[in-house]
Amino acid sequence: MNETISEEEFKKLIELLCQKSRIAVLTGAGISAESGIPTFRGEDGLWKTYRAEDLATASAFSRDPKLVWEWYNWRRGIIAPVNPNPGHKVLARWEKIFPDFSLITQNIDGLHHKAGSEKIIELHGNIWKVRCSKEGTITDNHDFPLKELPPHCPSCGALLRPHVVWFGESLDHEILQKAYLLSSTCQIMFVIGTSAVVQPAASLPLMAAEAGAKIVEINPDPTPLTPYSDFSFRGKAGEILPSMDKFIDRNLS
Ligand code: BV8
């Protein structure tokens, strides 16, 4: 299964999964890596070329909205043609087989949705939604390439901005409260493909651990959360989740 987890431990985890009712999952850019989307801090990480502060902030947008939109348009170009990978698909299946299952993601790529997950909490927004910077109206926009850079609001002509949370901006209150509630009441929390650096998302697993939940980390590399994890699988989500799912299938049937 995985050199860091013994067979016996793994069996215990599967039993726990098939017993336990409340399961929460927190995902980061790593779960989309095998779909071909660069992570933020990985080798070909998005940030390597651009400093987050330079582009994913309100001050960058007010300074140069065209540059910020050129960057989001570029990212749309990477995301539009790719498909969910087996990791996304297993989580979509788990939503259907586990009675109390919640998916919280930091990703704005929309791949969980594309994989068939329905109950998704998008902590940091979605790259396929835009918001009028004056009226605040949120609309779906799957244009690629964007017809106009920067795009403007069709009703009031003001600048449109990506409906994402930028650094220095607070998360949507309701969404954050829901994430806090699910984290502090779950019995198992999977933490998949995140470097656990960006707050407040990185605090959710600590809240879950604090509340007595078992923490299951899946990441090729150790993270600041590894010491708090009951199970820490060193490997790729798109490989580990399908093999875990096979065992669950056997145990649930
Ligand atoms: C806020 C949307 C109130 C936009 C994003 C406390 C202490 C210090 C700093 C702060 C703090 N509180 C707030 C801050 C500031 C800041 C912050 O956390 N800064 C960090 C850098 C220290 N937080 C904020 O500004 C938040 N707002 O707190 O408001 C406030 C404001 C100011 C001050 C106080 C309070 C807003 C944060 C949200 C920002 N928006 N995205 C966009 O995308 O354009 S964050 C963005 O970066 C992502 O959404 C994600 O959250 C983060 C990237 O992290 P990951 O997803 O984990 O990706 P990463 O590349 O880092 O890691 C990938 C991992 O996957 C790696 O570990 C790798 O090993 C692994 N992996 C690779 N391949 C695979 C894999 N795993 C599995 N399978 C594989 N195949």
Q: Cβ(122) to ligand 1 under 6 A? A: no
The pTM of this model reads 0.95
Distances (CA, A) of 228 to 8, 20, 232: 20, 20, 9
Tell me, yes or no, if 124 is annotated catalytic. yes
Cα separation of 163 and 132, whole Å?
Answer: 9
- The residue to mutate among 32, 85, 167, 173, having the most atoms of ligand 1 within 8 angstroms of its beta carbon, is 167
Distances (CA, A) of 214 to 13, 24, 43, 163: 9, 10, 30, 33
Cα separation of 118 and 38, whole Å?
Answer: 24
Residue located nearest, by CA, to atom 37 of ligand 1 = 167
Q: pLDDT tens string for the chain (253 positions)?
A: 455 567 788 888 888 888 768 999 999 999 999 999 998 876 666 566 677 778 999 999 999 999 999 999 999 999 999 999 999 999 999 999 999 999 999 999 999 999 999 999 999 999 999 999 999 999 999 998 999 999 999 999 999 999 999 999 999 999 999 999 999 999 999 999 999 999 999 999 999 999 999 999 999 999 999 999 999 999 999 999 999 999 888 777 6
Cα separation of 121 and 111, whole Å?
Answer: 13
Q: Cβ(30) to ligand 1 under 6 A? A: yes
Nearest to 172 by CA among 209, 196, 138: 138
Q: In what order do the strands lie in the sheet with 100-105?
A: 120-122, 100-105, 22-27, 188-192, 214-218, 231-233
What would the two tokens of residue 138 be?
Answer: 């949120």
Give the ligand 1 atom nearest the CA of 72: 44
Residue located nearest, by CA, to atom 6 of ligand 1 = 199
Check if the beta carbon of residue 115 is closer than 8 Å to that of residue 237. no
Q: Cβ(45) to ligand 1 under 6 A? A: yes
Encode burial over 207-220: b for 16+ CB neighbours within 10 A, e otherwise.
bbbeeebbbbbbbe
